[in-house]
Chains A and B, each alone.
Chain A
């Protein structure tokens, strides 16, 4: 399995270093309304060829985290602390030139909305070939040939013709395929996919998700897959990191998160969404309240204002003390292991059906 379950105790690397290691990442940006604590002490590891799913709602910090891995944040308004180590190379504070050499080459990204994420002014082929030309130094003609090859690989019909099309001449699904071709053209070892199927229809989403999985087998990239959809992540990831209010609140393998979730927020996420197989005519179990403001996050556990189980924890620990997320399979919650288990078995599991 991945290092998520291997590293115990201190995050100090033991044995083989993980391919990507994020340690105590803090991302803050100043806005007119104040300082947004977008990511607040996040640590995770990712091994080569594996997929880490990061799940969370809007404002959970999941997208910001990954923009900062690539160094795509606005340097003027953003403050970043912590370590991001990719294959032994420290990325936080690395010079822009170094990052440029890595972006699109060793690490690539796929964005949510392929219509706005592709430039309307240049052909698809040119945009796909660009990173290849830049990072390998080949000619434009060779870049174009490689772009056609990639378009074939991601299933664009008539790639030799479509390579000269502009993005607006592509359908939504085809645009996302073009994005994938662009991201994979330099055979990156790390691919970050930020809600890559959210803007797509469900049948197209299924095609794209399977395509990503199949291409991962071929290219061997490690993937960070960001989504708000637990169903999508169940399909894609080996491990899951659940984020809430800028923090990681639970991590484990897909199976662990889906079958024995430990954090009340994860419980809420799982039991609030209807499934094709769930009981009908019973009410859903929503999480009360609304996601926290990152301008003024709640004290202690960020989930405590919406949590139904704070009364099971002694004193005011939930609102006063921030629960840590230990390494390995764990949840950042003050409930004891026994409490978590009994609550889950008694009241949560029956809801999941």
Chain B
């Protein structure tokens, strides 16, 4: 890279809560609209799925940035836009200060090796006709990289790093279990010594007892190699475990972003509150209904084709007022929040995760529960 100031040290970078210095990856106003065609007699664009709609985020060297949200919030699309598997409709993607938003194949070459991706499904993301050695060596071959001692030696090292037997070099993916395949995916991502790994739901297809193995492996990789992660997942507990900073997405937008402690213990956006309160926890407090607040939203996430005006969460929000429909709340630091803890809400909640009165918006729950208490 031409910019000397952004050169990474190989030593372990310090995870940062806030964001000083130039980030490794910066995304500004990132937008992806998938067009919908229709009409007669000639098909034309009649609308768009606004999968990602003006996203700003920054990932610093060595840190793990978590992206959480429910289905349809655009978190996976964001990952694919950043790795340039899909072409952004608008906005900018800067890698080490260099604009790669619309970089062509040739211009991307040096960056491709530094940004790698781990996919959700360890079954379909590995070519069944290739041996493990070929799969892991693929990125090196494409990029013409010949490590000292040869590719095979490097591949065997990688297999060892991810906890697989280097002897399995010549085996095929179907000979491995789901967790082992995900390790192969990790090894492939590591092959080019990336600086940033975009991990899209890397553990959600795995059995519970296997998830922890892969999370630990990613943690080890992050610590020992100083690799930054954009960690995309719907599981809030896993994201909390893995990421120093977390952004909560809803219908293509970030509604709240901040350091882990702020998001999980001092959330301000009603949606963050609702998400956290919905996570089922295996604890005795949970059985006895103590501790956390109880928020039950009504209905499902609206369609990203026609997202609500103003604040997109307003249709499911208990605090919504007229202003929320007319004016889109900016993502800003609210008084009392830490630096870097930004919230997009006109009427933020108190920074706590407990509350005396439950919020029940679901009409069925509300009516059933009133009738039960009346008995």
Contact = CB atoms under 8 A, between A and B. Distances in A.
Interface of A: 57-58, 152-155, 157, 171-174, 177, 201-207, 209-211, 214-215, 217-218, 228-235, 254-255, 258-259, 268-270, 272-278, 280, 283-288, 290-291
A277 B368 CA distance: 30
Contacts of B301: 201
Interface string B205-245: 00111111101100100000000000000101110110000
Given A206-B296, A211-B365, A273-B212, A235 B280 contact: yes
B284 interface: yes
Contacts of A203: 70, 274-275, 278, 297
Interface in B164-194: 177-180
Given A173-B299, A284-B241, A201 B284 contact: no
B6 to A, nearest CB: 26
Nearest to B68: A202
Q: What is the interface of chain A mostly: helix, strand, loop, or mixed?
A: helix
B365 A155 contact: yes
Contacts of A173: 299-300
Find the residue from A211, A234, A269, A276 having the highest chain B CB count within 10 A.
A276
B46 interface: no
A155 B362 contact: yes
Contacts of B277: 206
A278 B178 CA distance: 26
Nearest to A280: B241
Find the residue from A229, A230, A285, A290 having the highest chain B CB count within 10 A.
A290
14 contacts: A171-B299, A202-B279, A206-B296, A214-B364, A255-B284, A258-B284, A268-B209, A274-B237, A275-B281, A276-B276, A284-B216, A285-B212, A286-B209, A290-B177
Interface of B: 70-71, 177-180, 207-213, 215-216, 219, 234, 236-238, 240-241, 260, 264, 274-284, 286-287, 296-301, 362-365, 368-369, 371-372
Given A171-B300, A284-B215, A232 B280 contact: yes
Given A215-B368, A273-B282, A280-B260, A172 B211 contact: no
Contact of B280 (A174, A205, A217, A268): A205
A231 B341 CA distance: 28
Given A276-B279, A287-B209, A291-B209, 9 more contacts: A205-B280, A207-B362, A211-B365, A268-B209, A273-B211, A276-B264, A283-B219, A290-B179, A290-B207
Contacts of B278: 202-203, 205-206
